[in-house]
Structure 1
Amino acid sequence: MRLQSFHLSLLGILICTDFPRQVFAASAVQLDSSTTYLLPMNFHENVSEPFLSTKAGSPNSTARLKAAANVPFVAFDQEFLDLLPPNASLKLVANASYPFADEMGVWVWDRNEVWFTGPTINESNYLTVVDLDTMRVYKPNTSIPVVNPNGGYYHEGIVYVAADGNATSAPAIYGVDPNTGEAWVVVDSYFGLRLNGPNDVTWTNCGNASYMFFTDDPLSALYNGGLLPQLPDAVWRFDPQQKTLLPVIDQSDISVPNGIRVNKEGTKLYVTSTPASYNYGSNGTASSAIYVFDLDQNGFPSGQRLFGFAQRGISDGLHIDDAGRVWTGEADGIVVRSSSGKVLGFINAMALLDASEVLAGYSLQNFALAGDKVVVLALDKIWVVQLATHIVKCGGLGQGEGCLS
């Protein structure tokens, strides 16, 4: 179901524990947490369909899941509901006749803007911005083209953009000054070899030093005329103090790395893995999963641990709020996990995308955490979810993704 109105104020929260007999129209539904691991024995699922399409083993149970499919917020824990105001609302702030918003989701906090990218191939200027004060959408005028941008991060006044490049422009990490539009290449090679295709980027600090991490995967094969990858897919660490680029996580740990973020304290590095079947030029295998690493005092990751599997599809967009909750863009929606990995709830893709988009396998693959808002990049639309409180306040150098005075 597509929510059509420009501003939709939905009804209050309904708690649905153990599949109650009646489900009322509501903005949020809570299903008992046991629903995620215990169903009547004759349930039937299809891995290509959303969790809420599960035939849950009895007509009543199936009906409750089906009813939840039309609700934008689905909770498995009170902590998720506590993020929402009593009358949760959605606001449609941008609408187009073509897909234009599905990646990056970077909150430039001091301008109150969200920078994002779209799915257009071989277009150098599809960086786009939505001003959250006016809801104006515009394209920034950069001093040099940022070629096929993908993920990004805002750090000390600069928007860092991971870009796939093309046949003539190497894949690279760019820096963009959002106030002037000045842009430059930060990293584009390793000892003369092209990067495969930077996907996402983040920063943190350890003591007096700051470090940039980025994921590199073979997606640039979409743009570069078929040039095969020259390096293994990896997570890289750039040290601007020592002017050194080092691989720090290789394919033996994560076959095809995708999203990447550091927690507020700068002690944990989270990386999502994309199965090889979703990529080009990779011979590896992988789980569609989220992994967490410890970061030492010199900014090196160790102690890999599996944090969670994608409910369906892949874990793409990755953001960490100030409480340590992990937000990922997956096929079922924007999934929120506790710092220990429990799925608390999700913003439901089935309620915000057209049915045809859901059936075609499209997802809410990225978004932005912007103070007390979630900005949802929904392909041909942008929705803003108003939260009950600020979940991201201070940013830069391992301090989250934005800073409020």
Structure 2
Amino acid sequence: MIIPNPYEALDPRFRDLIQPNAHLRRIATGFEWTEGPVWFADMQVLLFSDIPADRMMRLTPDGQVSVFRQPSDYSNGNTRDRQGRLVTCHHGTRSVTRTEHDGSVTVLADSYEGRRLNSPNDVVVQSNGDVWFTDPTYGILSDYEGFRAEPEQDAHHVFRIDARTGRVQAVIDDFVQPNGLAFSPDERVLYVAESGSSHDPDVPSVIRAFDVGEEGRVSGGDVFATVDAGLPDGFRLDTEGRLWTSAADGVHCFAPDGALLGKILVPEVVSNLCFGGPRGNRLLITATTSVYSVAVNVSSALG
């Protein structure tokens, strides 16, 4: 499936970020709910979660799809650490894990203060090795993306795992449902999506920005941007600090000052995205039942 000219430019700056002749392409489909895309440049492969199907999938640039892991413990968000290892959030085991180079799996966190986590959703690894993740309750609300259960935590936190000690620390506790998260290129700002409008229309669909200090201390939390279609889920930043986020109508691109520059319209609700492809200049988009790809003029802030 090829979708020509999927762009909606709302600011002249957006035109420099896209390739007008590059079409949006659906490169894989037939899934239940795609999430957690992560690009492995050394292997030229995209991994992503198909949450309700309890599996992780592998997709190559030529469109070949295969199962990477099944069961996946209802994996959701994925990322890589600075050693190239896969880090994954799981709804089923309510945990965050790391897949080692030999294929073994290490549990990084599954509880806080003696109580089980809610259902880790999305994850990012800081350059110092600290792992940050969100812990909403989506995976325990029903048996669709995990296992129905009562929450044991007293809040829906953003957590930090100290790379040196393995200690799990609650760093933010005032979200209704924290979702996607990512750092600015200099790691001085942590962006976190509020997706609580999924179950409460009175919750604003916003992305908040927190200042990051020593030892993982955060402050601030002002609204950085508001998504005007659906809610923000997963997102990524490019090298210049622009934020590309999922939304109900596609991918929205925000300037570092929070201005909405433009949209890439996608025919399915977008859950997440990452940069990848052979030259790192393709936006790889997980959207409901499918994965889409489009060439852009930017690349990932993670390098």
Same fold by TM-score greater than 0.5: yes
The residue matched to 2:138 in structure 1 has which SS? helix
Q: How many residues align?
A: 295
Aligned match for 1:268, one of 174, 189, 213:
189
Asked whether the 8 Å contact 2:133–2:159 carries over to 1, the reply is yes
Aligned match for 2:131, one of 205, 212, 215:
212
1:30 alignment counterpart: none
Q: Deviations over 1:130-166 (max 9, x none)?
A: 122x332121147xx530111121112111111111x
Alpha-carbon spacing, 1:294–1:310, altered in 2? closer, same or farther (3 Å): same
User: Share of identical aligned residues, percent?
Assistant: 27
Q: CA deviation at 1:229?
A: 0.4
Aligned match for 2:177, one of 256, 270, 273:
256
Question: Which structure features the higher share of strand residues?
Answer: 2
Asked whether the 8 Å contact 2:135–2:159 carries over to 1, the reply is yes
1:230 alignment counterpart: 152
Question: Which structure features the higher share of helix residues?
Answer: 1
Moved more, 296-305 or 335-344: 296-305
Aligned match for 2:275, one of 369, 382, 386:
369
Asked whether the 8 Å contact 1:262–1:270 carries over to 2, the reply is yes
| Structural mapping, 1:277-292, within 5 Å | 277-278=198-199, 286-292=203-209
Is 1:87 the counterpart of 2:29? The answer is no
Alpha-carbon spacing, 1:184–1:338, altered in 2? closer, same or farther (3 Å): same
* Unaligned ranges ≥5, structure 1: 11-26, 28-71, 354-362, 393-399
Is 1:73 the counterpart of 2:7? The answer is yes
Q: Deviations over 1:163-204 (max 9, x none)?
A: 111xxxx30001124x65332321111232110000101111
Letter in 2 for 1:286: V
Larger radius of gyration: 1
The residue matched to 1:298 in structure 2 has which SS? helix
Q: Deviations over 1:368-387 (max 9, x none)?
A: 22220011223333221012
Q: CA deviation at 1:106?
A: 1.3
Where has structure 1 moved over 6 Å in runs of 4 or more?
none
* Unaligned ranges ≥5, structure 2: none
Asked whether the 8 Å contact 2:35–2:287 carries over to 1, the reply is no
The residue matched to 2:24 in structure 1 has which SS? strand
Asked whether the 8 Å contact 2:238–2:298 carries over to 1, the reply is no
1:69 alignment counterpart: none
The residue matched to 1:322 in structure 2 has which SS? coil
1:157 alignment counterpart: 84
CA RMSD of aligned residues (A): 2.2
2:235 alignment counterpart: 318
Aligned match for 1:381, one of 290, 297, 303:
290
1:13 alignment counterpart: none
Aligned match for 1:183, one of 74, 93, 105:
105
Alpha-carbon spacing, 1:304–1:225, altered in 2? closer, same or farther (3 Å): closer
Asked whether the 8 Å contact 1:146–1:174 carries over to 2, the reply is no
Q: CA deviation at 1:300?
A: 1.8
